[in-house]
Amino acid sequence: MDDKAITLQVRLTQTVPIALDVQLQCGKGEMLALTGPSGSGKTTVLRCIAGLHRAANGMVKCNDQVWQDRQGKTFIGAQQRRVGLVFQQYALFPHLNVLQNVAIALSHVKGQDKKTKAMHWLSLTNMSGMHDKRPAQLSGGQRQRVALARALAREPDVLLLDEPFSAVDQLTREKLYRELALIRSNLNIPMILVTHDMLEVQQLADSLCLIHHGKTLQSGSINDVMRKPETARIARLLGHKNIYTANLNANKQLHVLGTRIDIHQQTALGTGPVSVLIEPSAIIMHRNDRPSNGERENPLSTQVNEMVAMGEDWLLKLDVLGTNEQISFRVSRHVAARNNIETNGKLKVSILSEGIHLMPAAQATSPLP
């Protein structure tokens, strides 16, 4: 991203009440997912951007306006910042109807135009015809649509979403994902989504900032961060399962899972211990009915240790024969049935080299045999 595209810049440091050492940036039309374990400081960062909390040190800049400067001389309060904020629990006024809840954010609009604008945002969030109802008469999904309409009614410079889907059921969540994706295609402002749901991150966001214990660990595009975590610790925090300690020899061959693998990744790592991430998409199951050339690459003999139903898929946990290691990936139910996959059954798989990512060693291991 070039500097002209960056419209929101944030750098925050403090030690109390929660330690922060966070840096992020977001451009026009971009949705950045701010993610990390519970208690990592995500909501505090959002509150700092909104002006609801003043970090001890740091900088918040939106477009050409400084909302907080590094010297501590400038701090613009929440009312003066054009920020749309959607809370986890909606935060609607129970004594006001839907139209009034949205109109309250339109203090910058006068007269009859206020109702017209409010109705416009309700229409955009699929709440037309519900304008005279009170929040108690609405479902969770409908209340969240009203909260989004109210946030957008401010015509904000930044849209902040604080775990907006966590209070609704899965079916409603999927509908809201689709609606938000449609709405954001017409928004030319930076958007920050706070969530700990990695599926949500991959479905909605363009970029990702991972924080833990109040500190930025890695940020970048979704593809770069998810596929190329900088450390094994980051990989685990992102939800990856197939992480191993291995050895890299002088010929750039990797010894892992009881076999040697020629890697495709260009790496500056020296010989010896390394951490390895194997993407689930790089694991290919050998099929008796339709063998492929991919099965010749880095084959492994395994035994099915566990099968867990995950919607239309089975999540398989395989013991790699001859080792103490396991590997996990998903297959669809019909593929599992066609290939007679069952617990304790034998299964051959292959690991594609292009789906292997190397990281610095998390811990020491024995030298290559």
DSSP assignment of 212-249 equals ETTEEEEEEEHHHHHHS-SSHHHHHHTT---EEEEEE-
* Measured distance CA(269)–CA(289) in Å, rounded: 40
User: Under a CB-based contact definition with an 8 Å cutoff, are residues 349 and 321 in contact?
Assistant: no
3-236 domain in CATH 3.40.50.2000? no
In this prediction, residue 311 has a pLDDT band, given cuts at 50, 70 and 90, of confident
Name the residue among 68, 99, 63, 67 with its Cα closest to residue 81: 67
* Measured distance CA(368)–CA(249) in Å, rounded: 7
* Measured distance CA(362)–CA(369) in Å, rounded: 20
Helix (H) or strand (E) holding 338: helix 333-338
Predicted local confidence at residue 292, as pLDDT: 58
Mean pLDDT of 343-353: 92
* Measured distance CA(351)–CA(257) in Å, rounded: 10
pLDDT digits 0-9 by tens, 47-79: 999 999 999 999 999 998 999 998 878 999 999
User: Per-residue pLDDT for 249 more than 60?
Assistant: yes
**In the Cβ-directed half-sphere of 171, how many Cα atoms lie within 13 Å?**
1
Parts of the chain belonging to CATH 2.40.50.100: 243-360
* Measured distance CA(114)–CA(99) in Å, rounded: 10
Query: CATH code for 243-360?
Result: 2.40.50.100
* Measured distance CA(317)–CA(311) in Å, rounded: 16
User: Per-residue pLDDT for 162 more than 90?
Assistant: yes
The answer to whether the pTM exceeds 0.85 is yes
In this prediction, residue 366 has a pLDDT band, given cuts at 50, 70 and 90, of very low
Predicted local confidence at residue 288, as pLDDT: 65
Cβ–Cβ contacts within 10 Å for residue 125, how many? 24
Name the residue among 151, 150, 159 with its Cα closest to residue 102: 150
User: Under a CB-based contact definition with an 8 Å cutoff, are residues 94 and 134 in contact?
Assistant: yes
Residue 240 buriedness (CB in 10 A; 0-12 / 13-18 / 19+):
buried
pLDDT digits 0-9 by tens, 32-42: 999 999 889 99
Say which amino acid occupies 279.
E
In this prediction, residue 364 has a pLDDT band, given cuts at 50, 70 and 90, of very low
In this prediction, residue 369 has a pLDDT band, given cuts at 50, 70 and 90, of very low
Lowest mean pLDDT among 21-35, 111-125, 282-296: 282-296
Q: Given the structure tokens 């590997």, which residue do they identify?
A: 327
User: Per-residue pLDDT for 104 more than 90?
Assistant: yes
Predicted local confidence at residue 363, as pLDDT: 52
Parts of the chain belonging to CATH 3.40.50.300: 3-236
Q: Given the structure tokens 């109807």, which residue do they identify?
A: 97
User: Under a CB-based contact definition with an 8 Å cutoff, are residues 27 and 209 in contact?
Assistant: no
* Measured distance CA(164)–CA(89) in Å, rounded: 8
Helix (H) or strand (E) holding 175: helix 170-184
Helix (H) or strand (E) holding 200: helix 198-204
